[in-house]
Amino acid sequence: MNEQVDLKNITPLLRLFSAPEIPGRDAMCLALQMVQDTYRMDFSGWSEAGWQDITLQVDDTVKGEGDLLDAGSREKLEKELQEMRSRVNANRPSELIRGTMKQRREARTCKAVILAREMPGESPGYLVCISFMGTTHRAYDWISNLRMFNEGGMHQGFAQLLRQFQSLEEEITFPGVAKALQVERVTLRDILISMQAEDSPFRLMLTGHSQGGAIAQLYAYSLLEHRYVQKSLVRGICFASPTVADRSLVANPSDVPLFHVLNGDDLVPHMGLEVHLGKLLLYPPDRALRETCYRWSRGAEGMQRRVYARYITEKMTGTPQDLLVGLALLRLIRDIPEEEFRAFYRGAMKPLSHMPSSVHALLSGGAESILRRAESKAQEAYLSVTGQEMDMGKVQEIEAECLSVMRLCTPQGLIQAMSELGLAPHRATDWQGGEMGAYEYIVRFGTDRLVPAAWTLSPHPHMVRIRTQAPERQEEEAGV
């Protein structure tokens, strides 16, 4: 974030445990800073501010301060950590192929940073934070996102990432905490067992952006529902989270003690399964946000393309509708002439332009086969989510509307407009440089405009505001 965040002051995070209706701005700033540094995998500032036992988890590898003795030196550990950071942006053909093959049955691309901070007070107590990373530049990170099947009431891809993280809990250690408590070893699993008691010395704070927010939801649900962790000891603030559960998983989804900050322009919170787990805080987008944060093409032509594209994106109000629109677009793309398809492909793959040309050649050469498989998967996912077969009459209607839009702005123009509408509103911070991220803007300048929202599932899933005025927020301490 551009704003200086006081990493030493954990009071705003601890206030979350007094159950405020909406968290304070400073707590949101700390959570978003954690999100940004998780993408960077750089927590040096947090270490300098007194946080300890910082652990990085990428795929099936866990490294942190607990490995210092095994590494032999801090220099060697730093080298190992740098190798982990490089995995997050793997783009060599061999890495992409190997990584994709590993995800064929079960996604194992969860990435997180775990750290702890001693809480003020006479008795030793610790705030443990877990920040789950969202989807990165690695193409195969998307596999879990696209597994939009209902698995026991949960989004299948996100549930797989949840299981992966849970399997690593014993490897995540807290040597500083163990020393202070005068015990030989403390693992994340030990801490969670301790949190089954109300008088546990631990508090757990979860955060994440996008896919990271999805894992945080399922992790919180699992801890409370299946592992008997006390609800009063768990809190979280997530950003741009997709939906993760169906309507039957919990009686009241908002009972899960998380807050989700959502940009009203962002399409991702309308994707996933059916509902979020936690309370929704919706930011009604305005001109100031869009002009400050959105990297949109300027001029009348770009504006007109986005107007046309909105005829499509406005239909994407929930996962069933997303799948109908997705199938219509896939059918349409498959039937466009080859030259137009190649132009369309170049526009669609612009966010993955960093990938080697050999990978692009492989993808574009097998495009028809990939598209047909995607069409089949979209229909299977729709059946899994809704319990009903897709209404192909509706798909044909949407396809006809999409064709009309495509004729007005060309296939390449349509994909550019849809990319602009989809990517800019979803960005968390400026961690990649350029314009301020939409969620950073909301946290810095728009917390007073956040309004509670909820999902309604009739006649089809869509998000609605609960009230027009934001309730009072907890007061921040003077000087914070």
Q: Could you list the beta-strand ranges (E) of 186-257.
A: 202-209, 234-239
CA distances from 171 to 213, 239, 351, 376, 420 (A): 22, 27, 34, 39, 40
Separation CA 460–CA 150 (nearest Å): 17
pLDDT for 262-315, tens place per residue? 999 999 999 999 999 999 999 999 999 999 998 788 888 889 999 999 999 999
pLDDT for 39-59, tens place per residue? 988 888 999 999 999 999 999
- 365: Cβ–Cβ under 8 A, 6 or more apart, which residues? none
Per-residue pLDDT averaged across 107-136, rounded? 92
Beta partners for 56? 63, 113
Which pair of tokens denotes residue 91?
A: 């783009």
pLDDT for 409-430, tens place per residue? 888 888 889 989 999 999 998 7
At 90, the amino acid letter reads A
What does the DSSP 8-state code read for residue 265? T
Is the peptide bond between 257 and the residue preceding it cis, with omega within 30 degrees of 0? no
Q: Which of 82-96, 185-199, 322-336, 397-411 has the highest mean pLDDT?
A: 185-199
Residue 198's pLDDT band, with cuts at 50, 70 and 90, is: very high
* Edge-first strand listing for the sheet containing 234-239: 61-64, 52-58, 111-118, 126-132, 202-209, 234-239, 258-263, 279-283, 451-456, 462-465
| C-beta separation of 453 from 466 below 8 A | yes
Residue 108's pLDDT band, with cuts at 50, 70 and 90, is: confident
pTM as predicted: 0.89
Separation CA 39–CA 239 (nearest Å): 13
**pLDDT, mean over the chain:** 85
Instruction: Quote the pLDDT of residue 421.
Output: 92
pLDDT for 361-391, tens place per residue? 444 445 567 778 889 999 999 999 999 999 9
Residue 75's pLDDT band, with cuts at 50, 70 and 90, is: confident
Buried b (16+ CB within 10 A) or exposed e, 193-211: eebeeeebbbbbbbbbbbb
The helix or strand, by DSSP H or E, that contains position 66, with its residue range, turns out to be: none
| C-beta separation of 240 from 268 below 8 A | yes
